[in-house]
Amino acid sequence: MRARPQKMSIYWKKKSHEEIKSIVFPALKKNIDYKQQHALGIPASYLDEKVFNQNATFLSEAPYLSTLIHNPNHIGCHTLGSSESFFSGTQEIERELIDICAVDILNGKENEHDGYVASGGTEANIQAIWIYRNYYQQEHSASRDEICIVCSADSHYSMNKASDLLAIDLFKIPVTEYTREVTAEAFKQTIEAAKKQNKRYFIVICNMMTTMFGSADNVDLFTEQLTQLNCNFKLHVDGAYGGFYYPFSEGQSKLTFENPHITSFTLDAHKMAQAPYGTGIFLIRKGLIEYVNTKQASYVEGDDLTLIGSRSGANAVAAWMILVKNGPFGWQEKVFILQKRTEWMCQQLDALNIKFFRAPFSNIITIESSFIDEETRSFFGLVPDSHAHPLWYKIVIMDHVTIEKLSLVIDRIKENASHEA
């Protein structure tokens, strides 16, 4: 682990529970009150009070659950100007969440990014690729046949979905089996193969910790090769897994907005940030998200430049609450603890001569399948790289995965080894 350089956070400040309540509840009051106001034109309301008790006493201490019941619709992108004024209060919280992620976590400059809370990493990745496809079509008169997606073989399957939905070809770069790296030669060969198929515009995905192996792509290698090969490219970082982890475990990361080649990021708050599912985050430099403006949404106040359209504002409030409750130093400490647990587990596996892979600065350990029997896999819920033909099983060191629990895995492996002997 390389410590993150200490810097003054601009937006990310630690807050107590009382301070959080003093922000969220007034924000809800700024939103529309369906009972007190005459709002007849919007197809929305609070959650059905026959099922969801809006007067439960605990709600006065539960800002997130209160937001969930108020049911704000955060349709649109709130970093661009006007949005649905019915929900202006909680939109302000989402804007601050976007600022925390873009500026304080990913080292962007103030007022130089747009973004929104997406349904997850899949949507955020497709959003980026959709924007860049339209950019090349509108600014370079490119046909879909001239545009392609390029990513490593370990990239998330949302790239396949994007290729299918947006009707542009996908080229995957092979990775080395035991280091999960993209080599310069493999990158070059993939680009040259794409060019032979008349590809001229490249939407390149760089991973900030892959879902299976936790490996981060070498962004310098990517950009050097793209420059040497004279490629017209846009570079998106898929940090769905690593966005709330890698910037803190790898303090010298080049996967930030300080890198001028990177134009957008995906983060998932429902992974390492432990937010409710359905909380992805999409971030992009100013001047690009407009390429997916759905002008047909004329009844929406402001512009809808998102793939999802209507979405719950409660997810944005939840992710914001988690970050400000911990604060930047608390978050660094959280990652430090997970790294130490991961290192402990690696030491135990090394001592048993178990073959495994763990990327630097990652909290994912993948063990060769030959060392894991079916009973162990099932008992500990280890996830394979392929259910059909597993070569690796992974352990993800999350907040609940303590050394005590990890020691049980080690004990089981030792027991199996003694029986085989």
Q: What 3 state SS string does 43-88 have?
A: CCCCCCCCCCCCCCHHHHHCHHHHHHHHCCECCCCCCCCCCCHHHH
Residue 10 included in any domain = no
Residue 148 included in any domain = yes
pLDDT in the model for residue 417: 78
Query: In the chain, how many domains are there?
Result: 1
Single-letter amino acid, residue 334: K
The two tokens of residue 179 are 């280091």
Residue with structure tokens 């940090």? 239
Nearest residue to 338 (alpha-carbon basis) of 244, 222, 203, 224:
244
pLDDT in the model for residue 411: 95
pTM for the whole structure? 0.96
- Spatial separation of the C-alpha atoms in residues 85 and 178, rounded to whole Å: 53
- Spatial separation of the C-alpha atoms in residues 77 and 88, rounded to whole Å: 12
Nearest residue to 124 (alpha-carbon basis) of 263, 261, 290, 239:
239
Q: Low-confidence residues of the chain, pLDDT below 70?
A: 3, 421
Exposure b/e, 214-249, CB count within 10 A at least 16 = b:
bbbbbbeebbebbeeeebebbbbbbbbbbbbbbbbb
Residue 58 included in any domain = no
Q: Which domain CATH number covers 116?
A: 3.40.640.10
Residue 211 included in any domain = yes
Residue 111 included in any domain = yes
Cβ(291)–Cβ(134) below 8 Å: yes
pLDDT in the model for residue 421: 60
Range of the domain at 301: 89-310
- Spatial separation of the C-alpha atoms in residues 180 and 186, rounded to whole Å: 12
Residue 97 included in any domain = yes
- Spatial separation of the C-alpha atoms in residues 42 and 86, rounded to whole Å: 9
Residue 269 included in any domain = yes
Residue 175 included in any domain = yes
Phi, psi dihedral angles at 359 (to 5 degrees): -70, 145
- Spatial separation of the C-alpha atoms in residues 255 and 217, rounded to whole Å: 9
Phi, psi dihedral angles at 288 (to 5 degrees): -120, -35
